[in-house]
Structure 1
Amino acid sequence: MKQLIVTLIVLFVQLMARAQDSTKHVTQTPTGLGAGNKIYVVLAVAVTILVGLILYVIRLDGKISKLEKQSS
Protein backbone atom coordinates (compact mmCIF):
# COMPACT_ATOMS: atom_id res chain seq x y z
CA MET A 1 0.00 0.00 0.00
CA LYS A 2 2.85 2.36 0.82
CA GLN A 3 4.44 1.66 -2.54
CA LEU A 4 1.20 2.56 -4.32
CA ILE A 5 0.94 5.84 -2.44
CA VAL A 6 4.57 6.73 -3.20
CA THR A 7 4.04 5.90 -6.88
CA LEU A 8 0.95 8.10 -7.06
CA ILE A 9 2.77 10.98 -5.37
CA VAL A 10 5.68 10.72 -7.80
CA LEU A 11 3.32 10.67 -10.78
CA PHE A 12 1.42 13.67 -9.42
CA VAL A 13 4.63 15.65 -8.93
CA GLN A 14 5.73 14.80 -12.45
CA LEU A 15 2.42 16.00 -13.88
CA MET A 16 2.65 19.23 -11.92
CA ALA A 17 6.19 19.82 -13.19
CA ARG A 18 5.08 19.37 -16.78
CA ALA A 19 2.05 21.60 -16.26
CA GLN A 20 4.35 24.49 -15.39
CA ASP A 21 6.43 24.20 -18.56
CA SER A 22 6.88 27.75 -19.77
CA THR A 23 8.11 27.07 -23.29
CA LYS A 24 5.79 28.44 -25.93
CA HIS A 25 6.01 25.58 -28.43
CA VAL A 26 9.26 26.84 -29.86
CA THR A 27 10.38 24.70 -32.76
CA GLN A 28 13.87 23.47 -32.12
CA THR A 29 16.16 21.51 -34.34
CA PRO A 30 16.49 18.00 -32.97
CA THR A 31 19.84 17.09 -31.50
CA GLY A 32 21.39 13.95 -30.14
CA LEU A 33 19.55 10.70 -30.81
CA GLY A 34 16.52 12.50 -32.23
CA ALA A 35 18.50 14.17 -34.99
CA GLY A 36 18.68 11.32 -37.47
CA ASN A 37 15.90 9.12 -36.07
CA LYS A 38 18.60 7.17 -34.23
CA ILE A 39 16.30 6.89 -31.23
CA TYR A 40 14.25 4.32 -33.14
CA VAL A 41 17.35 2.21 -33.68
CA VAL A 42 18.15 2.36 -29.97
CA LEU A 43 14.55 1.48 -29.14
CA ALA A 44 14.56 -1.46 -31.56
CA VAL A 45 17.78 -2.83 -30.07
CA ALA A 46 16.47 -2.44 -26.52
CA VAL A 47 13.18 -4.18 -27.37
CA THR A 48 15.04 -6.98 -29.15
CA ILE A 49 17.25 -7.57 -26.13
CA LEU A 50 14.28 -7.49 -23.77
CA VAL A 51 12.28 -9.96 -25.87
CA GLY A 52 15.33 -12.23 -26.08
CA LEU A 53 15.76 -12.21 -22.32
CA ILE A 54 12.07 -12.95 -21.75
CA LEU A 55 12.14 -15.86 -24.20
CA TYR A 56 15.30 -17.20 -22.54
CA VAL A 57 13.70 -17.11 -19.09
CA ILE A 58 10.56 -18.85 -20.37
CA ARG A 59 12.66 -21.56 -22.03
CA LEU A 60 14.79 -21.98 -18.92
CA ASP A 61 11.66 -22.28 -16.76
CA GLY A 62 10.39 -25.06 -19.00
CA LYS A 63 13.65 -26.96 -18.72
CA ILE A 64 13.71 -26.57 -14.93
CA SER A 65 10.12 -27.75 -14.66
CA LYS A 66 10.96 -30.79 -16.78
CA LEU A 67 13.92 -31.65 -14.55
CA GLU A 68 11.78 -31.23 -11.41
CA LYS A 69 9.18 -33.67 -12.79
CA GLN A 70 11.89 -36.22 -13.62
CA SER A 71 13.45 -36.02 -10.15
CA SER A 72 10.12 -36.57 -8.37
Structure 2
Amino acid sequence: MKKLFTLIILLAAYMPVFAQQQVEMADTMRSNGYIYVVVGTIAIVFVGLAIYLFMMDSRLKKLEKRG
Protein backbone atom coordinates (compact mmCIF):
# COMPACT_ATOMS: atom_id res chain seq x y z
CA MET A 1 0.00 0.00 0.00
CA LYS A 2 2.86 2.33 0.82
CA LYS A 3 4.46 1.70 -2.59
CA LEU A 4 1.19 2.48 -4.37
CA PHE A 5 0.77 5.72 -2.45
CA THR A 6 4.35 6.74 -3.26
CA LEU A 7 3.81 5.94 -6.93
CA ILE A 8 0.66 8.08 -7.02
CA ILE A 9 2.47 10.98 -5.36
CA LEU A 10 5.38 10.78 -7.81
CA LEU A 11 3.06 10.61 -10.81
CA ALA A 12 1.06 13.58 -9.55
CA ALA A 13 4.26 15.58 -9.12
CA TYR A 14 5.44 14.69 -12.64
CA MET A 15 2.16 15.49 -14.43
CA PRO A 16 2.38 19.33 -14.42
CA VAL A 17 5.80 19.23 -16.09
CA PHE A 18 4.57 16.72 -18.65
CA ALA A 19 1.38 18.68 -19.32
CA GLN A 20 3.23 21.93 -20.04
CA GLN A 21 5.31 20.24 -22.71
CA GLN A 22 2.24 18.68 -24.30
CA VAL A 23 0.34 21.95 -24.65
CA GLU A 24 2.80 23.24 -27.23
CA MET A 25 2.52 20.07 -29.27
CA ALA A 26 -1.27 20.03 -28.95
CA ASP A 27 -1.50 23.63 -30.17
CA THR A 28 0.56 22.74 -33.23
CA MET A 29 -1.54 19.68 -33.96
CA ARG A 30 -4.75 21.62 -33.42
CA SER A 31 -3.67 24.39 -35.79
CA ASN A 32 -2.77 21.84 -38.49
CA GLY A 33 -5.98 19.85 -37.97
CA TYR A 34 -4.13 16.67 -36.98
CA ILE A 35 -5.65 16.60 -33.51
CA TYR A 36 -8.89 15.26 -34.97
CA VAL A 37 -7.00 12.39 -36.59
CA VAL A 38 -5.38 11.54 -33.27
CA VAL A 39 -8.66 11.73 -31.35
CA GLY A 40 -10.43 9.68 -34.02
CA THR A 41 -7.74 7.00 -33.95
CA ILE A 42 -7.86 6.76 -30.17
CA ALA A 43 -11.66 6.55 -30.27
CA ILE A 44 -11.55 3.75 -32.85
CA VAL A 45 -9.04 1.79 -30.77
CA PHE A 46 -11.13 2.13 -27.60
CA VAL A 47 -14.35 1.17 -29.38
CA GLY A 48 -12.59 -1.84 -30.89
CA LEU A 49 -11.32 -2.92 -27.48
CA ALA A 50 -14.77 -2.50 -25.94
CA ILE A 51 -16.38 -4.62 -28.67
CA TYR A 52 -13.67 -7.27 -28.32
CA LEU A 53 -14.11 -7.45 -24.55
CA PHE A 54 -17.89 -7.63 -24.85
CA MET A 55 -17.64 -10.49 -27.34
CA MET A 56 -15.09 -12.28 -25.16
CA ASP A 57 -17.36 -11.91 -22.14
CA SER A 58 -20.32 -13.42 -23.99
CA ARG A 59 -18.15 -16.35 -25.16
CA LEU A 60 -16.95 -16.97 -21.61
CA LYS A 61 -20.52 -16.94 -20.31
CA LYS A 62 -21.47 -19.58 -22.90
CA LEU A 63 -18.50 -21.72 -21.88
CA GLU A 64 -19.38 -21.38 -18.19
CA LYS A 65 -22.95 -22.45 -18.82
CA ARG A 66 -21.85 -25.40 -20.94
CA GLY A 67 -19.13 -26.60 -18.54
Shorter chain as normaliser: what TM range? 0.5 to 0.7
Larger Rg: 1
Aligned length: 59
TM-score, with structure 2 as normaliser: 0.63
Higher RCO, Cα 8 Å, sep 6+: 2
Alignment of 1:1-72 (within 5 A): 1=1, 2-15=3-16, 17=17, 30-31=27-28, 33-71=29-67
Structure 2: runs of 5+ lacking an equivalent: 21-26
CA RMSD of aligned residues (A): 2.3
Structure 1: runs of 5+ lacking an equivalent: 22-29
Q: Which whole-Å CA distance do the structure 1 matches of 2:44 and 2:9 have between them?
A: 30
- Identity within the alignment, %: 27
Higher helix proportion (structure 1 or 2): 2
1:26 corresponds to which residue? none
- The ranges of structure 1 where at least 4 consecutive aligned residues each deviate by more than 4 angstroms after the TM superposition are none
